[in-house]
Amino acid sequence: MDALPVEPVTVTLSRPIRRADGIETHQIQFRPPTMRDLRQAGDVFIALGDGAVKQDLDSIATLIANLGGIPLPNLDAMSPRDFNACRVAVLGFLGDSEPESS
């Protein structure tokens, strides 16, 4: 198993976003999560009845907001491409970004 990131991870955005301190930025630095962050976000993966697994966007958005210091409502204006880059970054702290289905 590859080592998981323990240092902050920075994602460069195609469009600026407003941080919690009101400053607009083209970069978000994500800190590694704590168990509290994971409990607040809820399950980021949802098991479907057919054995498949899907990602819960609301839980992932909560992780992005909490780990990156971005108010959750500000993520609504984020481009899908930027959201996906942030999704990959925060899920990288958890291991595989795509869990294997059984």
Nearest to 56 by CA among 18, 31, 90, 30: 90
21 lies in which domain range?
9-92
Domain total of the chain: 1
Q: Residue 58 in contact with residue 40, Cβ under 8 Å?
A: no
In a domain, 43, yes or no: yes
Q: Residue 86 in contact with residue 68, Cβ under 8 Å?
A: yes
Any idea what DSSP says for residue 62? H
Distance, in Å, from the CA atom of 50 to the CA atom of 33, rounded to the nearest integer, reads: 30
Model pTM score = 0.84
In a domain, 4, yes or no: no
Q: What is the pLDDT along the chain (102 residues), one digit of tens a residue?
A: 556 667 999 999 999 999 999 999 999 999 999 999 999 999 998 888 888 889 999 999 999 999 999 999 999 999 999 999 999 999 999 885 444 444
In a domain, 58, yes or no: yes
In a domain, 97, yes or no: no
